[in-house]
Chains A and B, each alone.
Chain A
Amino acid sequence: MAEALLQVEELSVAYGQVEAVRGVSLHVARGQIATVIGPNGAGKTTLLGAIMGLLPSRGAIRFAGDRIDGRDTEALVRRGISLVPERRELFADMTVQENLELGGFSRRRAGESRAALANTMEEVFALFPRLKERLPQLAGTLSGGERQMLAVGRALMGKPKLLLLDEPSLGLAPLITRDILHTISRLRESGLSVLLIEQNARAALQTADYGYVLETGELSLEGEADRLLHDERVIATYLGRH
């Protein structure tokens, strides 16, 4: 197995008395896609929120060998982690161009040039040509698929080493979902590591290298994605028989 870029050990997250995530340990290898599948309410989004520093958690989180639990979200962005949240969280009354520019905010503050950002923006356009056509449009007026492209594009503008994706297929037509997952596979080839959270288990396992099954806050199963695709329990619960 390749070296782990992200390593989560015994992570627990509680909302008051309720533990939404309990003792979860997982890792994302460098240059690979790992996925966490599971039903609604299993704690998948909570898990990503905790990794990204948006929610307080217990347990250890390591990124490239360094402990990052307890660090600010902004510090993690600077370290090279980007989250594309389930709700996209775009700047609705700003243009597509401004959304993308702000995606590079940390890099600009770290002293990178406008030209470097323009290059990254061209790379984003190569992945999502539609965004280039929509540059002057307000983000709030985009279609669902375009918003998802913009959310991923904005995250990529930060040149992350690790991309956390929360339900990229949510509310999208199957064809668009396929496009977006296909784009994510292409990103892996450029060296990006991805942690993908998905309800659409089949699409997720087909895209990923390694998979985890999260049920009511605990991991119940893990393994190579190919193997999980043929696992009896996964088929019965998440994939359905054909």
Chain B
Amino acid sequence: MDSTIVALLAQDGLTNGSIYCLLALALVLVFAVTRVIFVPQGEFVVYAALTMASFDGARTPGTVWLLLALGGAAWLADTVKLRREPRRMALAWLATAAPCVAAAGLVAWVAASKAPFVVQALTTVLAVTAMGPAVYRLAFQPVASASVLVLLIVAVALHFVLTGLALLFFGAEGVRTPAFTSASFSFGNITVSGQSLLVYAFTAVLIVVMAVFFRYALFGKALRATAANRTGARLVGISPDFAGRLCFTLAAAIGAVSGLLIGPITTVYYDSGFLIGLKGFVGAIVGGLVSYPIAAGGALFVGLVESFSSFWASAYKEVLVFTLIIPVLLWRSLSTTHSDEEE
């Protein structure tokens, strides 16, 4: 193995690692705020890539029907639950069902109007982001105070549902979306693709935006407060439903951007989300599902291990990546004292 190959593998590893990094951050965020181990995080990635591919193939994306289905279900749930409180019912519609329906309309319009690439990409992000609050409303809000185990079971079930819906609305065919740029840059004998640089840049920008949001914005602080102390947060008027919706919106947005970034690099199928999400999850576990920086570092490391092991032992690529989790768990079980679940 010479330096060119090392550089190539490292570049690949960091590119994938960056995307896993975004997913790891989303997983840590969702867990900290809602205690949900969000198995279907990868589904948002898949929906974004598949939507983008449909736009590219000049088809109407199945996203339209998916959004209408989610929006309709959320509308029904809120209407039944809040039938005696018209004001709250209207607010709930605005928070969950309305964004889905609006996004469905937007997607249909963009597909019909053959809009430029950038508009398609932005629409994709908006459409997948709109799914976040609806998914929270339907799957997790009714059981928000259940134990971590129950929430995990719901998350696994939701994963199967969302994968099934992806198959129904997008079909079984794998897609690859066009690269954002075909440019490439040479540094000595190392060539770096423009697409990789874009992935690094997007990841870096998103991390900075998130850091600023959590540090300075009122809603960012509200999410940190909910993660720190749920009862305390309720006592200052931050409702768990609001915090849950907000963090699922962020997770969906992060998933959407990840989908746009990964689409041109890997072939994405309706069921690719699980493996992609799982790699982000390994990174998040390295950070103990609480530390953002360690989770980010762990996810980058996952990307590198994956890339180098695909060179040396490609048949064992996934095995090697997931084996990473064992020493981490071992170390954690030896170094952390057991604490009962906080209620």
Residues of A at under 8 Å CB distance from B? 52, 54, 72-74, 77-78, 82-83, 85, 89-94, 98, 101-106, 108-109, 154-155, 157-158
Do A82 and B225 form a contact, CB below 8 Å, given A105-B218, A108-B218? no
Binds A, one of B117-125, B226-234, B274-282, B295-303: B226-234
Interface presence of B332 (CB below 8 A)? no
A74–B222 Cα distance when bound, in Å, is 13
Could you tell me the distance in whole angstroms from the C-beta of A20 to the nearest C-beta in chain B? 17
Interface presence of B59 (CB below 8 A)? no
Please pick, from A85, A92, A105, the residue contacting B228 in the complex, using a CB distance under 8 A: A92
Could you tell me the distance in whole angstroms from the C-beta of B291 to the nearest C-beta in chain A? 12
Given A54-B234, A102-B236, A157-B236, 18 new contacts (CB under 8 A): A52-B235, A74-B239, A74-B242, A77-B234, A89-B229, A89-B232, A90-B229, A91-B224, A91-B225, A91-B229, A92-B228, A94-B224, A94-B225, A94-B228, A102-B238, A105-B222, A105-B236, A158-B236
A158–B238 Cα distance when bound, in Å, is 12
Contact indicator A74/B238 (Cβ below 8 Å): yes
Contact indicator A74/B229 (Cβ below 8 Å): no
Interface presence of B221 (CB below 8 A)? yes
Interface presence of B237 (CB below 8 A)? yes
Residues 206-250 of chain B: 1 if any A CB is under 8 Å from the residue's CB, otherwise 0? 000000000000100110110011011111111100100000000
Chain B CB count within 10 A is highest, among A73, A77, A103, A155, for A73
Chain B CB count within 10 A is highest, among A90, A91, A102, for A102
Contact indicator A91/B237 (Cβ below 8 Å): no
A93–B291 Cα distance when bound, in Å, is 13
- Give the contact-size bracket for chain B: 10 to 19
A73–B237 Cα distance when bound, in Å, is 7
Contact indicator B229/A77 (Cβ below 8 Å): no
Q: Which residues from B are CB-within-8-Å of A93?
A: 228
Name the residue of chain A whose CB is nearest to the CB of B230.
A89
- Chain B residues 87-114 with CB under 8 Å of chain A are none
Contact indicator B236/A77 (Cβ below 8 Å): yes
A93–B232 Cα distance when bound, in Å, is 13
Contact indicator B232/A91 (Cβ below 8 Å): yes
Contact indicator B235/A83 (Cβ below 8 Å): yes
Chain A CB count within 10 A is highest, among B221, B229, B237, B242, for B237
A-B contact pairs, 17 of them (CB 8 A): A52-B235, A54-B234, A74-B234, A74-B238, A77-B234, A83-B235, A85-B235, A89-B232, A91-B232, A94-B225, A98-B224, A104-B236, A105-B218, A106-B236, A154-B236, A155-B235, A157-B236
Could you tell me the distance in whole angstroms from the C-beta of A242 to the nearest C-beta in chain B? 38
Q: Which residues from B are CB-within-8-Å of A72?
A: 239
Chain B binding surface, main DSSP class:
helix
Contact indicator A77/B225 (Cβ below 8 Å): no
Please pick, from A89, A92, A101, A109, the residue contacting B235 in the complex, using a CB distance under 8 A: A89
Could you tell me the distance in whole angstroms from the C-beta of A28 to the nearest C-beta in chain B? 18
Q: Which residues from A are CB-within-8-Å of B237?
A: 74, 77-78, 105-106, 109, 158
Could you tell me the distance in whole angstroms from the C-beta of A152 to the nearest C-beta in chain B? 12
- Chain B residues 115-145 with CB under 8 Å of chain A are none
Q: Which residues from A are CB-within-8-Å of B238?
A: 74, 102, 105
Report the 9 A-B pairs with minimum CB-CB distance, sorted nearest first: A106-B237, A89-B232, A77-B237, A74-B239, A91-B228, A73-B234, A89-B231, A74-B237, A91-B225
Q: Which residues from A are CB-within-8-Å of B242?
A: 74
Contact indicator A98/B221 (Cβ below 8 Å): yes
A101–B225 Cα distance when bound, in Å, is 11
A102–B237 Cα distance when bound, in Å, is 9
A93–B233 Cα distance when bound, in Å, is 13
A73–B235 Cα distance when bound, in Å, is 7
Contact indicator B236/A103 (Cβ below 8 Å): yes
Name the residue of chain A whose CB is nearest to the CB of B234.
A73
Could you tell me the distance in whole angstroms from the C-beta of A233 to the nearest C-beta in chain B? 35
A94–B233 Cα distance when bound, in Å, is 12
Could you tell me the distance in whole angstroms from the C-beta of A141 to the nearest C-beta in chain B? 14
Chain A CB count within 10 A is highest, among B224, B229, B242, for B229
Could you tell me the distance in whole angstroms from the C-beta of A81 to the nearest C-beta in chain B? 10
Contact indicator A90/B218 (Cβ below 8 Å): no
A77–B231 Cα distance when bound, in Å, is 13
A55–B237 Cα distance when bound, in Å, is 16
A82–B221 Cα distance when bound, in Å, is 20
Please pick, from B221, B228, B231, the residue contacting A101 in the complex, using a CB distance under 8 A: B221
A82–B232 Cα distance when bound, in Å, is 11
Name the residue of chain B whose CB is nearest to the CB of A91.
B228
Q: Which residues from A are CB-within-8-Å of B222?
A: 102, 105
Contact indicator B236/A85 (Cβ below 8 Å): no
Q: Which residues from A are CB-within-8-Å of B228?
A: 91-94
Could you tell me the distance in whole angstroms from the C-beta of A3 to the nearest C-beta in chain B? 26
Q: Which residues from B are CB-within-8-Å of A108?
A: 218
A72–B88 Cα distance when bound, in Å, is 12
Q: Which residues from B are CB-within-8-Å of A78?
A: 237
